[in-house]
């Protein structure tokens, strides 16, 4: 004999619970809690973006006032700024939105040849996050000028927000990848 019928709602999914007494109700609640926990654990286990973004085991970190790192004959130059600091004609030429609340990452790969640093092409990928580990969308693109090759990307930034750029650089013709981490605090006000 059914004593009561209750409709429980869990994240938009309705669950109908029929129970005949307090024992059945307690058992049903336990099953719902276990199911809910299994769903949460399953969803968290499928989220690979956080695992990728926080993997810093073999990364070379830039110091607070450091903007370049050397790997053999290769030197990786990194800089980040708000896009309002770009001259208007440069921003227009490269279709970059000038704004205090947009951060731009600039990466340059050079190789020492005959005592000089010469720009080289390569592949530059980045995962950008803030201190709360929130991933920021940033795609890098190559800009080629007469005597320079730049890899740039931009993303929104808040006032007093620190962005952490996990940068993977592979110079053309090289099989090895240079993994770096660069941090920058932005002030937009």
> pLDDT truncated to tens, each residue of the chain (189 aa)?
444 444 444 444 444 443 445 555 566 546 655 654 444 444 444 443 333 333 445 899 999 889 999 999 999 999 999 999 999 999 999 999 999 999 999 999 999 998 899 999 999 999 999 999 999 999 999 999 988 999 999 999 999 999 999 999 999 999 889 999 999 999 998
We report the CATH number of the domain holding residue 179 as: 2.60.40.3340
Domain count within the chain: 2
pTM score of the predicted model? 0.69
Distance CA 70, CA 86 (A): 27
* DSSP-derived pairing of the beta strands 149-156 and 102-113: antiparallel
**54, part of any domain:** no
114 lies in which domain range? 59-186
* 91 and 147, same domain (yes or no): yes
Residues 134 and 69 in one domain: yes
């Amino acid at each position: 004999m059914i004593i009561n019928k209750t409709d429980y709602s869990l994240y938009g999914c309705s669950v109908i619970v029929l129970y005949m007494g307090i024992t059945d109700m307690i058992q049903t609640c336990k099953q719902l809690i276990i199911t809910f926990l299994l769903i949460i654990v399953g969803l968290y286990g499928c989220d690979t973006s956080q695992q990728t973004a926080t993997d810093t085991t073999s990364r070379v970190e830039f110091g607070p006032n450091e903007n370049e790192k050397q790997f053999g004959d290769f030197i990786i130059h990194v800089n980040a700024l708000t896009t309002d600091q770009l001259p208007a004609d440069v921003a227009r030429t490269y279709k970059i939105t000038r704004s205090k609340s947009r951060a731009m990452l600039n990466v340059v790969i050079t190789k020492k040849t005959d005592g000089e640093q010469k720009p080289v092409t390569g592949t530059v990928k980045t995962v950008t996050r803030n201190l709360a580990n929130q991933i920021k969308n940033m795609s890098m693109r190559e800009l080629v000028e007469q005597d320079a090759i730049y890899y740039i990307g931009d993303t929104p930034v808040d006032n007093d927000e620190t962005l952490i750029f996990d940068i993977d650089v592979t110079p053309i013709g090289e099989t090895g990848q240079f993994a770096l981490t660069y941090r920058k605090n932005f002030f937009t006000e």
